Amino acid sequence: MTARVRSLLLGLGLTALILAVFLVTVWALMAVLEDGALPGGPRVAIVLLEGIIVDGDATVRELREHMDNPAVRAVVLRVNSPGGVVGPTQEIFSAVQRVRKAGKPVVASLAAVAASGGYYVATAADRIYANPGTLTGSIGVVMQMANLEGLLKKVGVEYVVVKAGAYKDVGSFARSMSPEERRILQSLLDDVYGQFVGAVAEGRGLDRGTVLGLADGRIYSGQQARALKMVDELGGLHEAIEGAARLAGLPARPKLLLPRRRFSLVDLLRNQLGLGAAGGLLPALPSLRTPLYLMG
């Protein structure tokens, strides 16, 4: 074996060793982060809730991890959302409540927009911080459907439905809605609206009648919301972190556990355009598939 070959093999061996050490180090760091065994003492965790709420699984999972992590003493929920689908919104709301029941304070920090479902989630927190110009409120429920009956007749399309169950195709785009169908859907929306009002009244410690006076779907600035006791303090993320630290008995500038950002083109489309897991913003065929939206 020539000296040149020996040098080449030695170089390859050293490269492989360095790569192996690097991979083991990365694996160890990831394991530490996943297990929550963070060095350096107690921390305040930050959870981001951004875009249209169409799937709450990731946020619920993140909140559960912080609830189980002994290093996390408080959570700041940073909300920048106009709202979204009712079910996922309520799942996140319940997850926030579970964190609080575990003895860890949760502070909501409202960013540019925290309306409707975004505000719904925030009311589960111990305290709510909003910027003076934050758009919030929009307490209400909406269901939107298209009626294309006239267009179908113009182009000569006959849409045929065979069903078992009188209201199986309620909300069909191919015909007008009957008064009874409208009554059924209105009753559904009224029920969910009542749940929304009840959550705000309980979370904010307000009389239900007072909340009903605010819950006509309008939006409020953070400053208006503060005057109406819909939020507790005016301030941004920094003030919310300090507030969470005080509630947890930590220093004013606590160590932070920052959110893990996972880039996904699908998630980007879902959050920014409202597409994906909810089935889109339009009714699917042949019957009503549009979810109830808590939207600003």
Question: In the chain, what percentage of residues exceed pLDDT 70?
Answer: 77
Cα–Cα distances (Å) from 218 to 76, 90, 236, 292, 296, in that order, read 26, 21, 23, 18, 8
Question: Which one is catalytic: 81, 104, 109, 116?
Answer: 116
In a domain, 23, yes or no: no
Rg (CA), the chain: 25
Secondary structure class of 6 (helix, strand, coil) = helix
In a domain, 3, yes or no: no
Q: Find how far residue 13's CA is from the centre of its chain.
A: 49
pLDDT tens digits for range 230-287: 999 999 999 999 999 999 999 988 999 998 765 555 555 555 555 444 333 333 334 4
Structurally, how many domains does the chain consist of? 1
CATH number for the domain harbouring residue 228: 3.90.226.10
In a domain, 180, yes or no: yes
In a domain, 239, yes or no: yes
In a domain, 33, yes or no: no
pLDDT tens digits for range 53-95: 999 999 999 999 999 999 999 999 999 999 999 999 999 999 9
Query: How confident is the prediction for the chain on average, in pLDDT?
Result: 84
Give the start-end residues of each E strand in the chain: 43-50, 72-81, 83-85, 106-115, 127-130, 135-137, 219-221, 233-234, 255-257, 293-295
Residue 242 and residue 139 in contact, taking contact as beta carbons nearer than 8 Å: no
Q: Judge whether 168 counts as a catalytic residue.
A: yes
User: Containing domain of residue 290, as a range?
Assistant: 42-295
Q: Judge whether 176 counts as a catalytic residue.
A: no
Stated pTM of the model = 0.77
In a domain, 161, yes or no: yes
In a domain, 29, yes or no: no
In a domain, 14, yes or no: no
Question: Which one is catalytic: 153, 163, 168, 229?
Answer: 168
